[in-house]
Structure 1
Amino acid sequence: MASAPNANLPMFYKSLIPLNSNQHGAFKAKSTDKAPWLANEHAIPLTVEEFPMAQRHFPIIFSSGENPVPLALMGLNEGVNVFFDEDGSMGTNCYVPAYVRRYPFMLARLQPDSDQLSLCFDPSTDLVGEFDDGEALFADGQPSEATQNILKFNEHFETAGQKTKAFIDELKKHDLLMDGELSIARDEGQPFVYRGFQMVNQEKLKEVRGDVLRQWNQNGLWMLIVAHLFSLDLTREIFSRQIAQGKGPQLQPQPANA
């Protein structure tokens, strides 16, 4: 899930530069209880390690295309997040995906032909800089304990990303992903239909051989599939929250664009 600083940047990041003691020796990192970069995002990448917690709060779907990733739906329509207010305050208690918590840092390849990852940050953020308050990122020219913890978190995120890819590869191997469709009825008129994502095909899931299912049960993959399928029931709850917050869709159905 790492991206090169000069490549198309992932969600949230406006720019990306490597953290180093020469340029950033006096920099500090602030903590925050607000995530304004999340306020207008409705679909957030997840790792498989997060499924058990995420499925309690969000529908878990998969993005469309040849290289799908798991997504937590914090809203059903683009630009709508029913859990976070416009200023980034959490309006409704929920699990916060690791993808959100790692910002403004991430591991990235400085050279496209290298496998080495370096700790980088988004310089446009107001969470990293030469502040009076905050945790120092360097001490005597060396990474501080705060920086080491940030690095460990991002390294774990990368490892979780590799596990997530292995999970997706297994689903694709057995042709279990299909184009998804979620239909939500309303009191009158046609239901709202959401498309533009993928989900596990339950009919094909029934055809998976017993020895494969046993292996999945042993390695935990089966529980990930179950968490995904059960989480889809939360779609109606997310829809209801959109309506209650005045963020409901227009009369014409709109795709989730996940």
Structure 2
Amino acid sequence: MPLFYTQPAPVDANRHRGKSLRDNPGFGFSVRTNSVPVSGAEFALAQRHYPIVFSGQDGAVPVAVLGLRADENLFVRRDGTWEPNLYIPAYVRRYPFVFIEAAGGQLILAIDEGGGFVVDGGKLPLFDAENKPTNLVNSALQFCAAYQNNHKATAEYVAALQANDVLVDNQAQATIAGTERLSLAGFKVVDEARFNKLPAATLEAWREKGWLAWTYAHLLSFGCWNALANLAAERKKAAA
């Protein structure tokens, strides 16, 4: 199952007749994860608030780091709201909707029925009185389609990074409130020296695809590690 999802089911007029999306559900569903996928199209906005790294698996995926511990999202507050005035990754905003693959490879819109977001009645119905999809469902369909396109473009970018051998293993060290030391490993970053040695023709091709901007945004995002440590220290002080 994709991160956060437990029971995704196709959005269906018969199955979801009289069903609604829960009003103001918040982001509590993401409180126990320290990273979420981000697409290259999001890098420019995400790099201002989160370190952007690549998962250390063979099929590397760019992720925004949300916490310094495995089960910690520092950006979701106790009331389930996200820290104000910060960019919220599209992967988080997409929930509880998602595309699932049907027979023949067709992608269809689904909703997670296991997260408590689908309720009887309510102010945000999935289908109207004529059993037609509401604007909520149509908007979710458009959002998921855009997300899927960005995902494909990002996968092409990551494949190019791997093919040119510029991704290297990395780790982050942080000291919280001057006493607690944390280490976060198991991820990759672009090695700036290797990146700068790429052939001019490769860099020109990447510029035309927008990949140079994505790479620079990734490198600039490293400045957010200190902000993460400061936020962790604030949380620790508040808990004490």
The answer for the alignment partner of 2:217 in structure 1 is 227
The answer for the alignment partner of 1:61 in structure 2 is 53
Give the gaps of 5 or more residues in structure 1: 1-8, 248-258
Q: Which is worse superposed, 182-191 or 223-232? A: 182-191
Shift of 1:57: 0.6
3-state SS of 1:224 partner:
helix
Among residues 152, 157, 175, which one is paired with 1:162 in the alignment? 152
Shift of 1:138: 4.1
Give matches, 1:95-106, under 5 Å. Answer: 95-106=87-98
Shift of 1:31: 4.2
CA–CA distance in 2 between the matches of 1:11 and 1:33? 17
CA–CA distance in 1 between the matches of 2:175 and 2:19? 52
Supply the AA of the counterpart residue of 2:227.
E
The answer for the alignment partner of 1:50 in structure 2 is 42
CA–CA distance in 1 between the matches of 2:167 and 2:120? 47
Distance 1:132 1:188, change over 3 A: closer
Give the gaps of 5 or more residues in structure 2: none
Distance 1:246 1:189, change over 3 A: closer
User: Is 2:41–2:150's contact at 8 Å kept on the other side of the alignment?
Assistant: yes
Shift of 1:126: 2.9
Matched, 1:39 2:35: no
The answer for the alignment partner of 1:15 in structure 2 is 7
User: Is 1:138–1:147's contact at 8 Å kept on the other side of the alignment?
Assistant: no
Matched, 1:25 2:17: yes
User: Is 2:38–2:62's contact at 8 Å kept on the other side of the alignment?
Assistant: yes
User: Is 1:49–1:160's contact at 8 Å kept on the other side of the alignment?
Assistant: yes
The answer for the alignment partner of 1:123 in structure 2 is 113
* Sequence identity (%): 26
Distance 1:19 1:214, change over 3 A: same
3-state SS of 2:87 partner:
coil
Matched, 1:218 2:208: yes
The answer for the alignment partner of 1:236 in structure 2 is 226
The answer for the alignment partner of 1:134 in structure 2 is 124
Give matches, 1:87-102, under 5 Å. Answer: 87-102=79-94
Q: Which is worse superposed, 91-100 or 66-75? A: 91-100
User: Is 2:177–2:233's contact at 8 Å kept on the other side of the alignment?
Assistant: no
More helix by share: 2
- Segments of 4+ in structure 1 off by > 6 A? 186-191
Distance 1:110 1:28, change over 3 A: same
CA–CA distance in 2 between the matches of 1:96 and 1:48? 14
Shift of 1:220: 1.0
CA-based RMSD of the aligned residues comes to 2.1
CA–CA distance in 1 between the matches of 2:114 and 2:160? 38
CA–CA distance in 1 between the matches of 2:84 and 2:126? 31
Shift of 1:139: 4.6
Shift of 1:187: 8.7
3-state SS of 2:50 partner:
coil
Shift of 1:97: 0.7
Distance 1:135 1:188, change over 3 A: closer
Alpha-carbon deviations, 1:151-175, whole Å to 9, x = none?
A: 1111111111101101101101101
Shift of 1:33: 6.0
User: Is 1:38–1:88's contact at 8 Å kept on the other side of the alignment?
Assistant: no
